[in-house]
Amino acid sequence: MRISWWTSVIVWQFADFTRGDQVVLQDDRHQAARPRNVAIVGAGAAGASSAYHLARYAAAVGIPVNITIFERNDYVGGRTTTVNAYNSSEHPIELGGSIFIEKNRIPFEAAKAFNLTTSSASLSSRSSDIPGAALGIWDGEHFVVTQNNEGSWWDTAKLLYKYGLAPIRTLRLMRATTEKFFQMYDAPIFPFNSLTQAASDVGLLAVTSATGEQLLRESNIGRLFAREIIQASTRVNYAQNLDHIHALETMVCMAVEGAMAVEGGNWQIFDRMIEESNATLLLNTPVKALDHDASSGTYTIHTGSDSNQNFSALILAHPFQYSSLSPLPATIHTPAEIDYVTLHVTLFTSPRLLSPLFFGLAPDKPAPHAILTTLPEGEHAPDRKTVGSPGFYSVSLLRQVTSPTTGASEFAYKIFSPAPPTPAFIARLLGVQLTASGELKSEDVTWLYRKEWQSYPYEIPRRQFERISLGDGAWYTAGIEGFVSTMETSALMGKNVARLVVDQWIAEGKGMRGHHEV
C-alpha cells in the first residue's frame, strides 16, 4: 500500500477528469448575431479561466464575443505569481499558488494542452545530497515527526505503528469527500447557478458546516494523527488550525498525490488561457467604478482613462472586498465581505542550512528541509487567527540555487508566518549573528523578498455561499473561496460562470428566460 500522500508539504487536490467538457452542438441561429461584449475584472485563475472557457463555449454555438480583461497589476496570475530569486529570471520562485495535482483537472489539462513542462513538487524530488530529513513537523519544542523520503516501507511501518488505522481512515475519508466534489464538474450538477445548492446536491454541506476537528473525531481518526499530521497540513496550506477550519478544506489538505508545478511558474497556465481566448488584456488598468444601465442591461467600466467602455456582461473575478469597487450599483447584488488570512510570505537565499539549535536539535543533527508546524499537545487555538507556540506555519528549503554574483551554491527558502519575520528571527533560524545595527549580514542572507497576502479566507464552517449571479448579466467567481480556495476551484468557478453566461445567451436567443439565481 502506498501512503505517500500525507508526506507532501503542500497538499492540493482536485477532480477526476474522465469526461470532457459539456459539448454544445453548433447552433447556426447565432452565426449572424451581434458580438457580445464581456468585461472580466481580474486576470487571476478565475478571470483567465472565465475568458478561456467563454471563448470556447461561445465559439461552439457560433456566438461572436469580444472579451476585455481589466487587471490592475502589471502581470497575469493574481495570487498565482512568481518572483525571481536574486532578481534573475533563471530562478523564479512561486510566491502564491504553488502546487496542483493531477486530479486538479483544469490546470492539469491546460498545462498539457499548452505544452507547459511540469515537475514534481513532492519532497522526494528535492535534492537528497543536502544533509537532513526531507520533512519535519515541529510543535514549537520538538519534532513530532520526521520523514526521510517519500513512502518507503520503513516510513509506512513507522506510521502504522504510531498512528494505527488513522492514516488509512483519513485516506478513505478524503477520497469519499473529494469524490463528491468531483461531481460538480459534470452534468447534472455543472453548470451550477448556486454554489450552496450544488454543495447540497453533492452532499458536501455536512463537511462545510463542521470543523475539521469535529469530522475527524466523528470519523474515529485518532487525535494524535489529527494534531501531528493533519493539522500540520491545514496550517501550511491555510494558516488555520483544526478547531476552526471547516472539514471540507481539511480534507482538501490531505489530498496530495502527484503534487506538481509548472516549470517557470504556474501563472503561465493562466497567461496561455488568456492568449487562447483572444481577449483584450489591459494590464495596469484598475477598474475604479461601475455603472449599470438597467434599461439597456449594459455596464460601463470606469478605469480612470478618458474612454469608458460598455459591456453586456460583467464577470467580477476577484475577492470583491479587495477590489476598491464598492459600492456596486444598487441594481445588482453586492457580495458580502468575508474575513481573509493575512499571510506573510518571506523568500530568501543563503549559503547556510537551517540551524539545528533553533529547533532544539543537537548541533551535529541537521534540521529537516521542509518544516511544518503544529500545536503542542494540550494547546488549543482560542480563535482562528492564533498561530500558537511555534510562532510560524512553515519554513521550507525549496532548492539549491547558484548565486549569479559569486557562482556559489546556496539555498532558497520560503517562510509562511502571520507576521513579518524579524531579522533576529531569520538570524536564529540560520544560526548566524546580526550586524551591530541589528541587520542581517549580506553574506548570510544574499537575497530577501517579503510579501503580505490576503491569501485565502478563514475557512470557517458555513452552509451558505455567496451568489454567483449578481443579477442582470453580472457574475461573481470568488464566492467559491469560502468553500475551497485553490487555483483549481477559482478556475472551476470561472468555467462555470462562462457556461452560465453562454447558456443565458442561448436561452435569450430562443426567447427563453436565462438562468438566474434566486
Ligand X SMILES: Cc1cc2nc3c(=O)[nH]c(=O)nc-3n(C[C@H](O)[C@H](O)[C@H](O)COP(=O)(O)OP(=O)(O)OC[C@H]3O[C@@H](n4cnc5c(N)ncnc54)[C@H](O)[C@@H]3O)c2cc1C
- Nearest residue to 457 (alpha-carbon basis) of 385, 380, 381: 385
The residue range among 83-91, 331-339, 440-448, 452-460 that interacts with ligand X, by the rule CB under 6 A, is 452-460
Answer yes or no: are the C-beta atoms of 120 and 282 closer than 8 Å. no
Residues within window 462-491 making contact with ligand X, judged by CB under 6 A:
477-478, 485-488, 490
The residue range among 41-49, 126-134, 175-183, 349-357 that interacts with ligand X, by the rule CB under 6 A, is 41-49
- Nearest distance in Å: CB 181, ligand X: 14
Instruction: Match 487555538 to its residue by C-alpha cell.
Output: 381
Distance CA 77, CA 267 (A): 5
Instruction: Match 439565481 to its residue by C-alpha cell.
Output: 517
**Interface map 488-507 toward ligand X (x if CB under 6 A):** x-x-----------------
Nearer to ligand X, 78 or 151 (CB): 78
Answer yes or no: are the C-beta atoms of 420 and 450 closer than 8 Å. yes
Q: Which residue from 323, 417, 446, 504 is in contact with ligand X, where contact means CB under 6 A? A: 323
- Nearest distance in Å: CB 217, ligand X: 27
80 binds ligand X (CB under 6 A): yes
Q: Which residue from 68, 455, 469, 496 is in contact with ligand X, where contact means CB under 6 A? A: 455
Distance CA 59, CA 68 (A): 16
Tell me the torsion sign for CA atoms 221, 159, 231, 196. negative
Answer yes or no: are the C-beta atoms of 472 and 332 closer than 8 Å. yes
344 binds ligand X (CB under 6 A): no
- Nearest distance in Å: CB 139, ligand X: 23
281 binds ligand X (CB under 6 A): no
Cell of 212: 475539521
Interface with ligand X (CB under 6 A), residue total 40
44 binds ligand X (CB under 6 A): yes
- Nearest distance in Å: CB 415, ligand X: 11
Q: Which residue from 39, 78, 277, 482 is in contact with ligand X, where contact means CB under 6 A? A: 78
Burial 342-371 (b: 16+ CB within 10 A, else e): ebbbbbbbbebbbbbebbebeeeeebbbbb
Distance CA 121, CA 259 (A): 5
Q: Which residue from 62, 140, 164, 286 is in contact with ligand X, where contact means CB under 6 A? A: 286
Residues within window 177-236 making contact with ligand X, judged by CB under 6 A:
none
- Nearest distance in Å: CB 414, ligand X: 9
Distance CA 406, CA 194 (A): 56
Tell me the three state secondary structure of residue 94. Answer: strand
Residue 186 has a CB neighbour count (10 Å cut-off) of: 16
Nearer to ligand X, 109 or 379 (CB): 109
79 binds ligand X (CB under 6 A): yes
Answer yes or no: are the C-beta atoms of 506 and 61 closer than 8 Å. yes
- Nearest distance in Å: CB 326, ligand X: 10
Cell of 513: 428566460
256 binds ligand X (CB under 6 A): no
Distance CA 497, CA 469 (A): 8
317 binds ligand X (CB under 6 A): yes
- Nearest distance in Å: CB 275, ligand X: 16
Q: Which residue from 15, 38, 39, 43 is in contact with ligand X, where contact means CB under 6 A? A: 43
Q: Which residue from 54, 144, 166, 343 is in contact with ligand X, where contact means CB under 6 A? A: 343
Report CA 396 to chain centroid distance, whole Å.
18
Tell me the torsion sign for CA atoms 477, 481, 483, 485. positive
Which amino acid, residue 41? V
The residue range among 36-44, 138-146, 223-231, 435-443 that interacts with ligand X, by the rule CB under 6 A, is 36-44
Q: Which residue from 456, 465, 475, 476 is in contact with ligand X, where contact means CB under 6 A? A: 456
Q: Which residue from 6, 7, 10, 252 is in contact with ligand X, where contact means CB under 6 A? A: 10
Strand 298-302, strand 289-293: pairing:
antiparallel
Q: Which residue from 12, 108, 311, 483 is in contact with ligand X, where contact means CB under 6 A? A: 12
Instruction: Match 481573509 to its residue by C-alpha cell.
Output: 340
459 binds ligand X (CB under 6 A): no
Q: Give the footprint of ligand X on this chain (CB under 6 A).
A: 10, 12, 41-47, 70-73, 78-80, 96-100, 286-287, 317-318, 323-325, 343, 345, 453, 455-456, 477-478, 485-488, 490
